[in-house]
Each structure stands twice: as structure tokens, then as C-alpha cells.
Structure 1
Amino acid sequence: MAPPAAEPLRRRPRDLVALLAPFPGRTAATTRIAAASTLTVLISAIYGTPEAAISAYVIFFINRADRTSSIVMSVAALVLVSIIIGLVILLADFTVDNPMLRVACMALVSAALLFLTSASKLRPIGAILAMIIGFGLDELGLVPAGELATRALLYAWLMVAIPIGANVVVNLAMGPSPRRLACDRLAQCLRVAAQVLRAGHARSDVPPDGVQPVAGWLKLARLEGTVNAADFRALQQAATSTTAILMAVDVSGREPAAQLPHGFAMPMADTVDAMASMLEKGGYPVEIEVVMPDASLLTPVQQSIVAALRSAIEGYAEGIEEKSPASLQAEKTGGFLDADAFTNRSHIHYALKTTGAAMFCYVLYQQLNWPGIHTCFITCYLVSLGTMAETVEKLTLRLTGCLVGAVAGTAAIVYVVPELTSVGGLLTLVFVGTWLSAWVAQGSPRIAYAGFQIAFAFYLCVIQGAGPGFDLTIARDRVIGIIIGNLVVYLVFTRIWPVSIASRIETGFVALLRQWQQLVDARPSSARRQHAIAALALQGSVAQDLQLARYEPASVGPGTDWIEDRRKQLSVLDAIAGPLFLLAERYPGDPAIADRLRRLQSMDAPIPTTGHTASPSGDDTHSVLLAMVDRSLSRHSPGDTYSSSPHAQT
């Protein structure tokens, strides 16, 4: 059920059309970003605050899928930046007249914030905060007196405060509730399940993270009061039941011998579609009854699928089990800092590399006396990434997005802006440009970074002040700055302390197999299904990382053979996920299932053939499901071992 791993990244026209195709929620999210960015530009124009383009761009980082997390993140960012600006004001007396001390302060604050960006929950907005503080300290060097320096820092605060306020207002007016998103995601997954039952083959349009976001959305919905305790428990159960349905239909769609006859598939598909309709209306189905023919004539595996589907459907939002202390402990979130914050050197390396790149760009445009390319300094904070694979892959997207945004912005200056007669016309232009950029940014990770860069370049060209701007020199210099910043980050991140994505893949595999082992050992049905939710989300994440791994040069990243081995291992786990889940549901704690997981992890012993494992009380279903697992495992030769990559700890 995970997306295909390590496929070559293609840019054929039909691939691009598929990546730009609409999906549930994309239009609404895009419109919300465009509205918030346009409102930001309007407020900046009214009060004449500098760098309105950067303020508008901040929206792309603080806006989230639901209104609650968007507002919470916005308020938290405002509080944090207020505290930091206050600390910088205390330092202003010591740095305003001392350029060397000012630059040292910029580097120190930048490194500290970027360390937290890499090693804490500050990750979504830490780089933006570092960039804003750097801008504020830079402004200290352009003013002759302490009072004006304070005003410059106030402007730096307003650069964040204005988009935060606009984001809060827009999300209060237009943002979807977390409950709405949770119900929509469950409905989307049920629609896919119904289509598999009707078509008789597996589909790949299940969201990569499955129903995993539902738990977080439900917690936010409870926080904002849109679900009561009963609804909260019912929708939690609905999420686990949806996963059970997806796993069962996945087996039916993959195995010809497991495909359900028409008389069983159609009633279940109709029932699942009706359940999806209830969820789309904001409710949830209860007391469901599925009417089907006698299942005694079905094969054992078909009976197992029918039983699993009937159990999940008829108890869809009912009978949630009490969670064990172990499950409750596992659900607890960590602290502010990551567990390896002070032991993983990559965090400090990331902070130093990004700060070094930014300081180089700062000194470059200062020494060249070319302030127009100051966007190279800003760009370093916006495009820095953790691993070489991400850096190399995203460089193409960023440069492509930059060129597209620059061309669009320049064309707007030449052909559109001269026709504008008011700020309203400029706002319309900003809204259209933002909407198109945000549409790309809200898509697949394969193109999302391009959307961010399109918006950044477009803003820097078009938003030149409180009204329409016509200066092509400003647009030219800012685009040159973006390109310089991208190239500097690329060179720094690929030459200094390069970090391979292999270690993240290794960690992901370990966590994935641990989830499956915990699923097999879990006795309560709800606990097994929770582990299945986490496992499916991890599979999607590992598959995405395997795609990125091919971008790393052999001197840093894993070899082609290692990537292919991991890809095969992931594809085998994807193929056996459904049968393993059905086995665990019916025979929790079965040692035969754990044995298959160990064999998958090592792939260093001959795979048993069907019948080598005794079934409980001669149960045919147990034997048939194990045989399905063994067939998938036996596709690899006994000698295919999965050794650690030499770069896994880089």
C-alpha cells in the first residue's frame, strides 16, 4: 500500500499533469494561502512596512491544513519572535556601532535558532525566525542612532506579526475544522476501499500517510470543542476500523485467489460508500449491518477477508477498547527537544552550515556594495535541508521555481503593472500569483518546493513597495540573489559535513519492523490497528526517502545495490502487509508470524515452503495466509542479504 519506492523522477508532460491534478482539500488550502498572503500585502501597504514580500511569503510556512493548528502555530511564533526581538533589543546598545560585533551576534543567534530548528519542535518555523532576526540585526547597520535601530527591530517584528495576524483572521473565517478534515480523510480512504472491491484489483491512490493524521486532528477538534467525548472515541475507533478495511481489501485486490465474488464484493462496496457519505456530511455510521450470502462455500482466505471486513464495518465506530498502560505510554509525545538533540552531531552541523552559507552571502553583497542581491542571505535560511539527497533533489526544483517565478514576475511588471491604477489592482495580481504558486506548493513533495520558490521569486519581483512597482532592476537583482543563495547552499551542504539519507532509511526500517512486531504481539484489536496505522505511514516515508537516495553521489550516499535491496525489502513488506495483518487479527501473538518478520529483516536464510509451519488445530486459513506470505518472501534468493550501508552513519 506504500507508494512505489525509488522510481526515477520523471518530468514527462503526463507526469506533470498528474502532479498538478486536484485532490481533496487542495483547492481550499490554496485559496486560504492566497487570501492570507494578499491580506498581508494590504496591511503592509497601509502601514508602509518594509519587505512586504517576505511577510507575504511567511504565510507559506505558518499555514496548516486545519484552522486550529494554523492559529496555534501562528500565536506560538508571535510569542517566540517577540521574546527573541526583545533579547536583540537588549543587545542593540552593544552592536549598533560595532559592525564586527553585530555580525558575530547575527551568527550566534542564527546558529542557536537553527540548532533548535533541527533538534526540536521549533522545526517548522525556526529557519524563518533566524532569517527575521538576521534581517533585524542587519538593519541596525543602516541606521545612525539607537532610536532608529529600535524602529528597525520593530519593523523586523512586524514582518512576522502582520502575516501571523492575517493568517489567524483568514483561518478563523475560512479554515476547515480538524473534525472536518478527519471525517474527509476517513471518507476518502473508504471510497478507495469501495473502488477496490468493485474493480477487483489494488489501487495506489490511498494517501501516503493513510489515516495517521486523523488522531492529531481529533485531538485538535477536542481542544477547540467541535467534538465531545463520545464523538472523539467513536471517530478514533472509525480510524482504526478504516485501516482494517483497507488492509483486508488490499489482500483481495492483490491476490487473484483472494478476490471476493460479485455477490459479496458489491454489498460491501455499497455499504462502505454509504458510510463514506455519512462521514462527508460530518457524522459517522453506527449500527451497520451487512447482508451477504452464506460464506461457507468461499475459500479459507476469502472467508478470512469477509470476516475481517464484516467485523470492521459492523463495529466501525463502536465498542472502542480501553487502552493498556503501554499504549497510553506510547502515545505520549516527547518534550520540546528531540531525544538525540545533544548526541547527534548532524544538528549542530546543520546549524553551522546554514549560518556559514548565510554569513558568506551577507559579507558578499556587503563587500560588493550590491544591496539589491540581499535576497541571497534570505534564501539560505529558506532552502537549507538536512541531507545531501534532499539538497540535490530540491536544487532543481528551487532553480526551476525561481526561474518560473522570475519570468512571471517580470512579465507582470512589463505587461500588467502599467495597467494598474490602485493598490486593489496590485492585490488582485498578488492573489492570482499566490494562488498559482500555492497550488504547486500544496502538491506532491516532487514539486512542492518549486511552488515555494515560484512564490518567493514572484513576490520579490512584483511587491516593491506600498504600491505597484515598475523597476526591472530590482526584480533582476533579487532574482540574482535567489540564484546565488541556492548555489551557495548547494555547495556548502554537498561539500562540508555531507549527510547521507541512508541513516534515516535504516532508522525508518528498524522502526517499521518494530511496529509490525508490536502489531503481532498486541492482544487488543484497537492496539493492533493503531500499530498498522503507524506502520503504513512509515512505509510511505521510507519509500519517499528511497526515491531521494538515488540523488546522492556514490562518495556520500549508499550504492545502487544497497538502494535496490532496500527497495525490494520494502516492496516485499508492502506485499505481505495485508496477509500479516489478517493473521495477527485472527491469531495474535502467533510465533509463525514473528518468524516471517525476522526472515524479512535478515533475508539470510532459506524461506520455508507452504506447510512447513504447523497451523493451530489444522486451521486451513492459517496455512493459506502463511503461504501467501511465504510466496512473497521467496521471491528473493536465500543469499540476498541486507547489510548496513557504509554511509548509514554519515
Structure 2
Amino acid sequence: MARPAGDLARPGAADFLKLLAPYPGRAEMACRVALICALTVWVTSAYGTPEAAISAYVVFFLNQPDRVLSVVQGLAMLVLVTLVVVLITVVALFALDDPVWRVACIAGLSLALLFVTSASKLRPVGAIVAMIVGFTLDELGSVPFGEAATRALLYSWVMVAIPIGVSICVNLTLAPSPRRLAGRELAKRLRLAARSLAEPEATRDALGACLRQGDAQISSWLALSAVDGSSARADVAPLRQAVSSTLAILVAADLAAREPSSRLPTSFVMPIIDTLENMARMLEAGGYPVDIELSLPGATELTPLARIVAEELQHAITRFAVAEPDVKTGAESSPPADKRGGFFLPDAFTNPEHIRYALKTTAAAMFCYLLYSQLNWPGIHTCFITVYMVSLGTTAETVEKMTLRIAGCLAGAPLGTAAVVFVIPAMTSVVGLMGIVFLGALLSAWIAFGSPRISYAGFQIALVFFMCVIQGAAPGFDLTVARDRTIGILIGNVVVYLIFTRVWPVSVAERVDTTLTSLHHQWERLSALANSAARRAQASSAMAQRGALEQDLALMHYEPSWVHPGPQWIAERRGVLAKLSALEGPIFLFAEQRPGDAAIGVWLRRIMGNPPQQPAETSAITALQPLADAHAPIGDTRAALLHLGDARLAQLEHAAPSDAAKDLTTHAPA
């Protein structure tokens, strides 16, 4: 059975070590980012550009696993920074000499940019743009004359242009192509499926995590591979079919891992494992397998569930890269009714949460700005930066990011201080500084480009470490830098926490309910799809969305008691997700064998707690037994799936009352 969604939070020491474990491509990514950071320090030292620490830190926002997105993201950032510099130049002409107007412009631009950030597709970078505009206007206010202000603006552009240029050069030379990454990920999944057939107990959790990842990232790599030429356009369709077939292989392997009665004997397992291993090697080598032959013994002696596993594996493997005709049905061709394009979100000007987010973040930022200005303590200016970096739409996400930022700060500051005290005094050239930066960036990137649950701590470790050890064009030894900037980060986090938990707090609960309804509709639409590729893509999306919902429920542990819903509400959503997780495999296999089967709708209504439309619907087997008898060749396997789904639902429904009672005793009421 799937673990309850809420149990995913609060990882122990063993879980934390798992998040730091290596996986294919992690070391390569970390080394590439560390190399770019070191080369950026070398260039900034050669030209003596100011704020070299920020230049090195920008590298973390420019790089993706593949070279295409890394280059495109760098060029987009350069265009964005150019536009920001132009905006600052125009505003500075009117507000630079008057402190009151300067503060008003910082607040007004912050409010406008943050509203657009929350209400549009600018969300990934909007807060950073608002922070750059406000901080640059503040810095320009301390410049004694106009020519120096102009130079400062130009240097701010160069400060970002240097890491962008270095990143593009290194990525074009060393970064893997999208095709290589897609092939490597497919090979990893095939090997996981092969291993699960031999070691089902040891791979059960890994299979579930793999299915929750979805196929969106691989599909994106395949699309990019056609753009950069690493894949011929004729290969894209077979590779997309390979992604679809891999999902079917994983679902069948997951069923075998979770149900002892569905496991295959050695005479079936060994040829399947050998075939999957050969397919994985072909994908890693840059090709893809075609005309696959897989001879298996007769399935008459297998249990019905084992027969389903064997048939699904054989069909998916032998037609691994054979693209099916694109048969469009009415359900497939009509787009979702709620899908809208455009720059702004559909509720941009009707949802008050967008303007509330802008007001809260701007208020926190201006408080920090006035604090360090009135104290005449510019060293803690990181409190102003922190506000924009940790403020998110919901209280849970904000507190989670704040927690990771504090943890990263408390880890990066001692590392940076130790380097300043024990290592940097022995350096005589910039080469030694580059080595220190490389090691610090390597550690930070290993965390930052790993699990999303701890990735932001890696970003924070890099920021604090760079600000400690990179103090100019040459090695510096000022320990007050580490002290002041660490204090600033802690102040910013405290201010954000107080405002976002007390003023218009936003629980993640509303998003959970909205996404849960959408997930229900996805599984309903899946049962009506006749095209196998479209059906599998829909199933992959639904499984990934269920994984995101589990993370949202886990985030509620970060919400204060007066923000999140009561334990009964959380227990009910956990129960629904647990049922969906238990029924994903049976629903998928039902849709594979009999698209449009009424059993899927019966299960979904039962999962969501809707009353049955007729008394017989309380059990899918009871309602649909005549249909099973009418199809004798598949009656056994179909009845086995029906029994499996009903048994899993019955087990979870029986456990729900005791779980709810446990939650009521272990969680304080809101």
C-alpha cells in the first residue's frame, strides 16, 4: 500500500542521507556549475568588477541539466537584465537625488512587479527583478555624482553578463545534449523495472517515486533534441512512443512488486530482464531498440494477475518504439475547458490574493530597507534581499523556503568563515581563490540540483559562502562580512515569517482541493481515450499530479496551527490520495485492456466519496460481473483486476477510521 501523503514530511536522518545520495548526472551537473563559478571569479578578478560574489551566485540560476535550456536561459536572463537596467536608468533620472522619491519609487515598483509576478507567467523571475530594481536604486542613492551612477549601472549589467557568457561557453562545450539525457533517463527506468522483477521488495519505493516523477521532463528533452539537432525529426515519434512504453513497463513492474500473486516465475523473469538490459544499453548509446523479439513460455499456468503483468510487459517491450496511429476521438481532440493562454492568469484581476501577496512582500522589504538605512548598517542589507527570495504565494511554501534558507545560512557561514581564517591567508594568487570557490560551489550545487525538498538550502549555502570568501578582485580576510550578512539573512526571515503568518495568511488547502478535483477529472478522461499514447500520457500526468498533491499535504507541517485546516480535513485528503495511489495501477491496466470500462467510473466515485448511483455500484465486481462473464477469454484477468481494486479500497476504507482517530490525538486542533 502507498504511504499516507502526510507521512512524507519531517524526514529523519536516514531520509536526509537518501536525499544526498548520488544519481546519474548529479556529479556531472555539480562539477559543471562549480567550474563555471570558478571561471567567473577568474574573469571578475581580471577586470576588477564589483560584487564578484553576486556574479558567482548568478551561475546557479543560469544552468539546467541540458545545454539547450542552459543557453536559452542565459540569453533570456541577459535580455531581462538589459531591460531592468534601462528601467532603473529612467527611474533614476527622476528619483535619484530625492530620498523621499527614491523610497517611493522602490515601494511602487516593488508593488507593481510583485503583483505581476503573482498574477502572470513572470512568476519564476519576477521577485528577483523587483529585488534588483529596489537594491540598485538604493545603491545609486549613495553615489556622490552622476557619472559614478552611470558607471555603477553599467557595472551592474557587466556583473550579470560575465557569468552568462562563461555559462554559455562552458555549456556549449561540456553540457550533455537533451537526447543524451532523455536516453539516460529511459535507460535508468528500464533498469529499475528489470531489477524490480528480480528484487520486488527492495525496489517498491523506488518504483513509486519514479512513477510520481511523470514524463514531462523527458518529453521536454525530446522536443529540445529536435531543436538542437541531437535527434533527427524522424526519430522523435519513435522516442515518444518509447517514453509511453516505458510507463507501461513501470506500471506492470509496480504491480508485480506490490502484489505477491502477480509475480512471475524465473522462466519469465530472466528473458525479460535480459531484454530490458539490452534496451537500456542501446538507449544510453544514443539509439533506440526496434524489432524487439521476446519469447516467453506459455502463460496458462500463471495466476490471472501474473498473466496481466506478463502480457503488458511483452506488449510494451515488443512495440517499444513503434508509434501508433494518431486516432483522434471527440474526447481527445477537445481541449480542456479551463485551459487559457495569455500572459496573465485567468484570475489575475479577480483574485485578491495577488495584490495581497504584493502588499505583504513590499511591506516586509520596505521595513528591512528602512531598518538598515536608519541603523546605518549597510552590511545587513541581505535582509532586504532575503524578503524577495523567500516570499511565496502560500504560508507553507514561504515558511519551508525560510527554513531551508536559515539552514543553508547556518551551514554556509561557518564554511566561509573557516575558509577566510584558515585557508585564504595562505593564498598568493587568484588560482587559490578559484580552487576554494570550486569546492564550495561543488558542495552547494550537489545539494541545490538534487531533491526539491532540500535544493534551496544549497542555493543559500552558495550565497553565504561566496559572500564570505569573495570580497574583491583578490583574496580578502574581513570576518565582519560573514557576520553582518548572516545577521541580515536571519532578520529578513523573521520579518517574512511574522508578516506572512499573521497578515492575510494563505493556506495550501485551497490548492489541494482544486488540484484534487482536477486529478479526478484526469482519471475520468483517461478511461475514454482510445489512443494508447494519449491514454498513457494522461496517466503519467495524473500520477505526477498526485505526487505534487502529496507534497502539498506534506507542506502543511510548515503552517502554524491557526493557518492550516483541522486534522479531520487533512486525514480525509490523505485517505483520498492513498486510494488514488492504490488504484492507479488497476485503473491504468483496465484502460489498457478495455478502454471505457465502467469499472473505472465506479472506483472513482467510490474514491471521491460520492454516493453510488445504484445499489450495485458499491462493488465494481457486483455491478460488472455480467460483463466479465460475457467475455470469457479475458474474464479471469478482468475479474482479478476488479477484485484487486475492490480489495485495496476495502482495506483503506477499513483503516480510515483508526487513522482519523490517530490524527485527532496527535495533532493539536487549529
Q: TM-score range by the shorter chain?
A: over 0.9
The 5 Å alignment of 1:397-408 reads 397-408=404-415
Change (3 A) 1:186 1:597: same
> Of the candidates 376, 383, 387, which is equivalent to residue 369 of structure 1?
376
8 Å CA contact 2:195–2:273 kept in 1: the answer is yes
Q: Is the 8 A contact 1:185 1:211 kept in 2?
A: no
Query: Judging changes above 3 Å, is the alpha-carbon distance between structure 1 residues 409 and 188 closer, same or farther for their aligned structure 2 residues?
Result: same
Q: Deviations over 1:27-62 (max 9, x none)?
A: 111112212222222222222222221222122222
Alpha-carbon offset, residue 379 of structure 1: 1.6
Aligned residues between the structures: 643
Alignment equivalent of 1:553, drawn from 560, 565, 569: 560
2:401 aligned residue: 394
**Aligned match of 1:566 in 568, 573, 584?**
573
Pairwise CA distance, 1:197: 1.1
Instruction: Give secondary structure in 1 for the equivalent of 2:558.
Output: coil
Counting only pairs closer than 5 Å after superposition, residues 349-498 of structure 1 correspond to structure 2 as: 349-498=356-505
Q: Residue 623 of structure 1: CA displacement?
A: 1.6
Report 1:54-93 matches (<5 A): 54-93=54-93
Match of 1:587 in 2: 594
After TM superposition, the structure 1 stretch with the greater mean CA deviation from structure 2, 37-46 or 482-491, is 37-46
How far does residue 120 in structure 1 lie from its aligned partner after superposition? 3.0
Q: CA deviation at 1:2?
A: 7.5
1: CA distance, partners of 2:521 / 2:222: 26
CA contact (8 A) 2:603 2:620 kept: no
Q: Which residue of 2 aligns with 1:646?
A: none
Counterpart contact for 1:2–1:536, Cα < 8 Å? no
Alignment correspondent of 1:52: 52
Tell me, in whole angstroms, the C-alpha distance in 1 between the residues paired with 2:463 and 2:2.
Answer: 32
Q: Would you say the 8 A contact 1:413–1:470 is kept in 2?
A: yes
Residues 162-201 of structure 1 mapped to structure 2, 5 A cutoff: 162-201=162-201
Q: Could you tell me which of 624, 628, 633 is aligned with 1:613?
A: 624
Distance in 1 (CA, whole Å) between partners of 2:248 and 2:461 is 41
Per-residue displacement from partner, 1:407-434 (whole Å, max 9, x unpaired)? 0111111000101111111111111011
**In structure 2, how many angstroms separate the alpha carbons of the residues matched to 1:136 and 1:401?**
25
**Cα gap change, 1:582/1:552 in structure 2, threshold over 3 Å: closer, same or farther?**
same
Matches within 5 A, 1:89-488: 89-201=89-201, 203-206=204-207, 207=210, 208-322=212-326, 324=328, 327=332, 330=335, 334-488=341-495
Return closer, same or farther for 1:333/1:252 CA change in 2, 3 Å cut-off. farther
After superposition, the Cα gap between the structure-2 partners of 1:628 and 1:369, relative to the gap in structure 1 and judged at 3 Å, is same
Contact 1:61 1:124 in 2 (8 A): no
Deviation at 1:446, TM superposition (A): 2.6
The question of 1:635 aligning with 2:639 is answered no
Match of 1:648 in 2: none
Aligned to 1:647: none
Residue number in structure 1 paired with 2:663: none
Q: Which amino acid aligns with 1:408?
A: L
Counterpart of 1:203 in 2: which secondary structure?
A: helix
Query: Cα RMSD (Å) of the superposition?
Result: 2.4
Q: Secondary structure of 1:297's match?
A: coil
* 1:339 match: secondary structure: coil
Q: Which range is displaced more, 523-532 or 326-335?
A: 326-335
* Cross-structure match for 2:605: 598
AA partner of residue 108 (structure 2)? L
Amino acid at match of 1:312: A
Aligned to 1:538: 545
Structure 1 unmatched ranges of 5 or more: 644-650
- DSSP 3-state at the match of 2:60: helix
CA distance in 2, matches of 1:160, 1:338: 29
For the 8 Å contact 1:321–1:526, the answer to whether it is kept is no
Corresponding residue SS for 1:296: coil
In structure 2, which of residues 510, 513, 517 is the aligned counterpart of residue 510 of structure 1? 517
* 1:10 shift after superposition: 4.3
Residue aligning to 2:17: 17
Runs of 4 or more consecutive aligned structure 1 residues displaced over 6 Å after TM superposition: 638-643
Q: 1:404 to 1:188 in 2, by over 3 A?
A: same
Q: Distance in 2 between matches of 1:604 and 1:494?
A: 38
Q: How far is 1:327 from its partner?
A: 4.8
CA contact (8 A) 1:241 1:316 kept: yes
Displacement of 1:466 in angstroms is: 1.0
The alpha-carbon distance between structure 1 residues 184 and 486, as it changes in their structure 2 partners (threshold 3 A), is: same
Q: Matches of 1:356 and 1:261 in 2, distance apart? A: 65
Give the partner amino acid of 1:383.
V
How many Å apart are 1:138 and its aligned residue? 1.3
Percent identity, please.
53
Give the Cα separation in 2 of the matches to 1:301 and 1:42: 62
Q: Is the 8 A contact 1:196 1:203 kept in 2?
A: yes
**Whole-Å separation in 1 of the counterparts to 2:198 and 2:100:** 70
Q: Which amino acid aligns with 1:632?
A: R
* Structure 2 counterpart of 1:204, one-letter code: D
Partner Cα separation in structure 1 for residue 332 and residue 151 of structure 2: 52
Report if the CA contact (8 A) 2:178-2:222 is conserved. yes
Q: Is the Cα–Cα contact under 8 Å of residues 575 and 656 in structure 2 kept in the other structure?
A: no
Following superposition, the deviation at residue 25 of structure 1 comes to 1.4
Distance 1:346 1:155 in 2: 37
Q: In the TM superposition, what whole-angstrom CA distance separates every residue of 1:259-294 from its partner, at most 9, and x where no partner exists?
A: 122211221122112111111111111110111101
d(CA) in 1 for partners of 2:401, 2:134:
24
Tell me: CA distance 1:375–1:328, structure 2 relative to 1, closer, same or farther (3 Å): farther
Report the more deviating stretch, 444-453 or 326-335. 326-335
TM-score, length-scaled by structure 1: 0.94
Q: Distance between the aligned counterparts of 1:46 and 1:115, measured in 2?
A: 40
Alignment partners' CA distance in 1, 2:242 and 2:334: 22
1:119 Cα shift? 3.1
* Residues 114 and 350 in structure 1, CA contact (< 8 A), matched pair in contact too: yes
Question: Taking structure 1 as reference, are residues 120 and 327 closer, same or farther at Cα in structure 2, changes over 3 Å only?
Answer: farther
Q: Is the 8 A contact 2:262 2:307 kept in 1?
A: no
Aligned-pair distance for 1:350? Answer: 2.2
- 1:12: how far off? 4.1
Q: Which amino acid aligns with 1:109?
A: L
Q: What's the offset of the Cα at 1:329?
A: 6.5
CA distance in structure 2 between the aligned counterparts of 1:159 and 1:112, rounded to whole angstroms: 25
CA distance in 1, matches of 2:78, 2:392: 24
CA contact (8 A) 1:397 1:447 kept: yes
Contact 1:96 1:146 in 2 (8 A): no
SS at match of 1:295: coil
- More deviation in 449-458 or 35-44? 35-44
Stretches of structure 2 that go unaligned for 5 or more consecutive residues are: 661-670
Alpha-carbon distance in structure 1 between the residues aligned to 2:448 and 2:580: 31
The CA deviation string for residues 67-113 of structure 1, in whole angstroms up to 9 with x for no partner, is: 11111111112112212221221222111111111122222222233
- Does the aligned pair in 2 maintain the 1:2–1:539 contact within 8 Å? no
Asked if the contact 1:68–1:220 (Cα under 8 Å) also holds between the matched residues in 2, the reply is: yes
The Cα shift of 1:179 comes to: 1.0
CA drift at 1:363:
0.9
